[in-house]
Copies of this chain bind each other. A is one copy, B any other.
């Protein structure tokens, strides 16, 4: 256990999107300040952060100045260039640590880590060329899905292979990037465990939420998830194993498939997670505060759930429903202050609270 950061300390956050924005607000609630590092202009987190650096991840001078101004470094996305991390890690603690980033930045490394830990995943194979794809399809079978090993999110960098004839086109979609073939999983539904681990090794998990996606983008998360008591406990224990194995500090999103044969790990994200936004209105301490507590070396808070919640993402034109959403009873709005509405862009979310 390291010393907890004092009042007024500065949390450095790599990335200035909505997750960085909500992390900034949580830090302020704890009397801590935030400094955002973000290459893009006018980032959503910039409206609420104490300080913003607009610079590229290749700008070593900016990275050094950023590190010098903060007490600890965390991030809102996992695809941070390795060179930037190499520079920063010598200057300030990075939490969650490099091992978690290395593992989750690459689908092949991640799946190998999970199976080495004795956890179940979809069947997978390393794809380097047409030949390895043909071989993998023979073992895994079609339908299957080809994904780039790195830099995929919200369904990007993925191609479905419904029959072996789709293989060449799918491979071409990867544009030469290293890829992984994943077998389709016969799952009934997807759930997430939002898990936190402190610098002292304590682990705290939120009640699992059930996710519904559309066009590769999360639409809703509902708590409680449709799970039996045994599955619920399995989900939480499994998440705890992952965090402990990585000596993890902070909040992690663990996506699981529920299948007739048990739980499979779909993917892990070493950060606060869209499927944990319900905690803002279903718990006294939400995932953003829990993450800040962890990376600041503070004790984790009470993450017990006190209400049923449905979180709905507001995507693109969904924002035009604002007048109606504002008058719904027991509905909390969380808008990201993004200047421009674009199709598929996450503009905000609502949490609908149902009390027993």
Contacts and interface: CB of A to CB of B under 8 A. Distances in A.
A330 to B, nearest CB: 5
Contact of A47 (B33, B337, B339, B348): B33
B335 A31 contact: yes
Given A28-B25, A353-B284, A335 B301 contact: no
A13 interface: no
Contacts of A46: 50
A339 B8 contact: yes
Interface residues of A, number: 48
Nearest to A293: B326
A50 to B, nearest CB: 4
Q: Does more than half of chain A's interface fall in helix, strand or loop, or is it mixed?
A: loop
Interface of A: 4, 7-8, 21, 24-25, 28-34, 46-48, 50, 281, 284-285, 293, 298-299, 301-302, 304, 306-307, 319, 322-323, 326-339, 348, 353, 355
Contact of A333 (B30, B322, B335): B30
Name which of A28, A298, A319, A327 has the most chain B CB atoms within 10 A of its CB. A28
Contact of A337 (B31, B307, B319, B335): B31
29 contacts: A4-B323, A7-B322, A8-B337, A8-B339, A21-B28, A25-B28, A25-B29, A28-B47, A28-B337, A29-B334, A29-B335, A30-B333, A30-B335, A31-B335, A31-B348, A32-B337, A33-B337, A34-B47, A47-B50, A48-B50, A285-B332, A299-B327, A301-B326, A302-B328, A302-B330, A304-B330, A306-B307, A306-B353, A306-B355
A306 B282 CA distance: 11
Nearest to A31: B335
Given A47-B50, A306-B307, A326-B299, A29 B333 contact: yes
